[in-house]
Amino acid sequence: MNKKLTLNVDEQLIKFAHDYSKTTQQSISKLFEKYINRLRQEMTHNDVSDEANELYGILDKGEVPDKKDLRKAFYEKSLN
């Protein structure tokens, strides 16, 4: 169920919001809703350990390496 929300926002930010809204063809309400949902998702990701957070997105940089290549790299690293 949608409810109305009144905000007090800086005038320049309101102008930017209107311009951005027109550019993206999305309502300001929808933009705000998406932003708040993203914040909520980030809060749930913070429950993950620091080590796991460091790995987040690591595979976005390229293809997943082949298992044999990973074993070879691990083996070579263990020799040093």
- The pLDDT value recorded for residue 35 is 93
| 21, 26, 51, 63 from 75: Cα distances, Å | 53, 52, 23, 21
- The pLDDT value recorded for residue 45 is 64
- The pLDDT value recorded for residue 68 is 87
Q: State which residues form the domain around 31.
A: 11-79
Q: Look at residue 26 and tell me if it is in a domain.
A: yes
Round to whole Å and give the CA distance between 57 and 34.
21
Q: Look at residue 47 and tell me if it is in a domain.
A: yes
Q: Look at residue 53 and tell me if it is in a domain.
A: yes
- The pLDDT value recorded for residue 72 is 85
> Mean pLDDT per 10-residue run, the chain (80 residues)?
92 96 95 92 72 69 77 80
Q: Look at residue 66 and tell me if it is in a domain.
A: yes
- The pLDDT value recorded for residue 77 is 78
- The pLDDT value recorded for residue 30 is 95
Q: Is 37 helix (H, G, I), strand (E, B) or coil?
A: helix
Q: Are 24 and 31 in contact (CB under 8 A)?
A: yes
Round to whole Å and give the CA distance between 28 and 17.
7
- The pLDDT value recorded for residue 78 is 79
Q: How many domains does the chain have?
A: 1
